[in-house]
A = this chain, B = another copy of it.
């Protein structure tokens, strides 16, 4: 047992920090809102891609990949440190879809041709993937998805609608779950396909604007979209299991605690240096009590993430632990944002575009974005179900 990092890990952290300090603009403050690392504007997006290339050059994006695919087999803790520092600095440029989701899937289920075709571009940060999973009628119950793919000559022909597709409007390519056998039990008629060009005929990307006014999600419709059969990953009708593949790449959820700590640190500073009613905000015991509680909870949340990394380091496969980390961490994001609103008082109403705002209007954006924290990527209800049934062995309802 050791609650400190090794010298090597500390050095790595310093290296990442120095890199970010030199690469990020002065007083870089991230892109507001806690769920949009890459930002919503074109400018933010371009910067994110630029950063991604640099991170790829450093080898950091693929450090978790096995050596055989050009990765470094990096330790879980090193991955956690990288995630922490990127998040604390609010730095853009990581690639969740290509590097952390699709690549591991291809490494296991892809043909040699698929690996050769796709992995190098992903590793270099040359290509943006998006994920076609959820549908309007299939949210928490993903396996009920209805988007159809029918074999036709050398192709599949896809019809249907995907929703909540993050960054679809930025993406070059998409991996998608489609129903290839509507007769089979719902988990057993799904296939995993690769769409090489989001500009293909029949694909329409419709923006979904969120309540913070930003464009991250999309609804994507497919009208007779043709995909060559060679783009099938894994076996036909086994796509549910292909899609569920995850290598032990870092997925500790350490972003929750880092994101919260970055914001809390700013709030503490603000409360100590700003007055309301003649007193520093930090003299209000209601505020300090909450800060103290949240500070502790952030530490607890970080611990949950370290535990997951530790399990993975020891070759164990986390299941309920990941759900717990998300369940706890996302509530925490909402608490910090709400605390920020409390601290800002009337000024909490003012967003980035208002000249009278405080903290650049970030808190208003964080508050609005935080609503989705306990919903997106598996609602708290779904997480609790996983903990109860898969984790604790309670019988399914």
Contacts and interface: CB of A to CB of B under 8 A. Distances in A.
Contacts of A397: 397
A289 B289 CA distance: 11
Main secondary structure on A side of the interface with B: helix
Contacts of A285: 285-286, 289
Contacts of A289: 285-286, 289
Nearest to A397: B397
A397 B397 CA distance: 10
A102 to B, nearest CB: 38
Interface string A375-397: 00000000000000000000001
Interface in A281-321: 285-286, 289
A379 to B, nearest CB: 18
A289 B285 CA distance: 10
A286 B286 CA distance: 8
A285 B292 CA distance: 14
A286 B288 CA distance: 11
A160 to B, nearest CB: 29
Nearest to A286: B289
Contacts of A286: 285, 289
A397 B286 CA distance: 41
Nearest to A285: B285
Interface in A248-288: 285-286
Interface of A: 285-286, 289, 397
6 contacts: A285-B285, A285-B286, A285-B289, A286-B289, A289-B289, A397-B397
